[in-house]
Amino acid sequence: MKKKTLEDIQVNGKKVLVRVDFNVPVQDGKITDDNRIIQALPTIKFLLEENAKVILLSHLGRIKKQEDLQKNSLKVVSERLSELLGKPVKFINETRGQKLEDTINNMKEQDIVMMENTRFEDLDGKKESKNDSDLGEYWASLGDVFVNDAFGTAHREHASNVGISSRLETAAGFLMEKEIRYIGSTVESPERPFVAILGGAKVSDKIGVIENLLNIADKVLIGGGMAYTFMKAQGYNIGNSIVEMDKVDLAKHLLEQAKGKIILPVDFAVTKEFSADAPYRYTDYKSIKEDEEGLDIGPKTIKLFKKELKGAKTVVWNGPVGVFEFENYAKGTKAICEILANLENTRTIIGGGDSAAAAIQMGFKERFTHISTGGGASLQFLEGKELPGIESIDDSVDCGCEGSDCEC
């Protein structure tokens, strides 16, 4: 998958529209996790160094009613970005109009402008989310070239990504390029042995991922709430553990299809009450009582997973293996972090979402080859699906020559 990157386009003196993913958590007017802003800095800094005029577009939260406008303004994000860059970021509190147009037209080289939340356009007819043609054309008219660096929205066909890219020369930013390189190449041609770890609550969320990974992975380790549906499919008592009864037959089919590739937990941390402080015990998969529910994998499973991961050359992990928000049930997820962090000569990729949040929160941010910034986008990429936000980026031109004599 060869797409244009920043090094394939001319940006000097140009108005460069950049779709970033600044959909960060905000509580009481303060950003609680600025990782997505930090991940976009290399692209923004490169454009500034190349004397571009940088115009940033992003969404933040969902806009369903008038009250959502104030709490989902990007103003707080622009202020944090300004701090990180050490230079002013001009925030315009509108998504279209004379004020925005005049500000952009008066920009100098190395200026940065951030417009208001693109999903403010969803308040009246979901113009952003439904890729309204007029809106995409209007936003495209504000710039000379488009850089898509928002992998987190790559699985969506919105006006602020596909709508703009269909009208302007489009390249991938550094973050998007990284996501394509690591996750895309892993799906297409992983270095083997290739082991996938899947967690999270529901089988239904990851049916396509499991099916695709069974075709390309050497092993698929399953933990988290979804493991209990597979245990139920094998006829074991799971007590009050989370289960999708309508997916039990599917789980049985997947186990048959896997032919030994799927590795399930052999013990669990179980409790009688879903709370952080309730007493718990470890038990094997055959001894869960009727009034108990599993909230984490146990020490025997950690040893088993460590054995299965030994020697792996490529590992993809998506979804925590326990209720990591509770300290008592974060041990399995932390153990997975430690195992992966200590693998040698292994490409380790975390596929966004809660597993990425857990790895960062637990202090393993720098210990993996790549931590994806996209939850839903990562899942669809792992399913082998085409992502509209990536497909709409211009293909790079392959001149056909090779070696040291190539002058392309």
Dump pLDDT digits (tens) for 212-252. Answer: 999 999 999 999 999 999 999 999 999 999 999 999 999 99
pTM for this one?
0.89
pLDDT of residue 353: 81
Q: How confident is the model at residue 177 (pLDDT cuts 50, 70, 90)?
A: very high
Would you please indicate which residues are annotated as catalytic (active-site) residues? Answer: 36, 202, 353, 376
Q: How confident is the model at residue 6 (pLDDT cuts 50, 70, 90)?
A: very high
Query: Does any domain span residue 123?
Result: yes
Q: How confident is the model at residue 408 (pLDDT cuts 50, 70, 90)?
A: very low
Q: Are residues 167 and 246 in the same domain?
A: no
Q: Are residues 206 and 267 in the same domain?
A: yes
Query: Does any domain span residue 118?
Result: yes
- Indicate the residue among 176, 206, 230 that finishes a domain: 176
Q: Are residues 164 and 201 in the same domain?
A: no
Query: Is residue 243 packed enough to be buried (19+ CB in 10 Å), middle (13-18) or exposed (0-12)?
Result: buried
CATH number at residue 95: 3.40.50.1260
- Give CA separation, 151 vs 24, 148, 213, 270, in Å: 14, 8, 21, 37
Dump pLDDT digits (tens) for 253-270. Answer: 999 999 999 999 999 999
Integer Rg of the chain from CA: 23
Pairing of strands 194-198, 145-148: unpaired
Alpha carbon distance 69, 146 (integer Å): 26
Query: Does any domain span residue 407?
Result: no
Number of domains in the chain: 2
The mean pLDDT of 334-340, rounded to a whole number, is 97
pLDDT of residue 402: 53
Alpha carbon distance 48, 407 (integer Å): 27
Q: Are residues 114 and 251 in the same domain?
A: no
| Percentage of the chain exceeding pLDDT 90 | 90
* Mean pLDDT, rounded, of the chain: 94
Q: Are residues 312 and 338 in the same domain?
A: yes
pLDDT over 90 (residue 22): yes
Domain that holds residue 33: 6-176
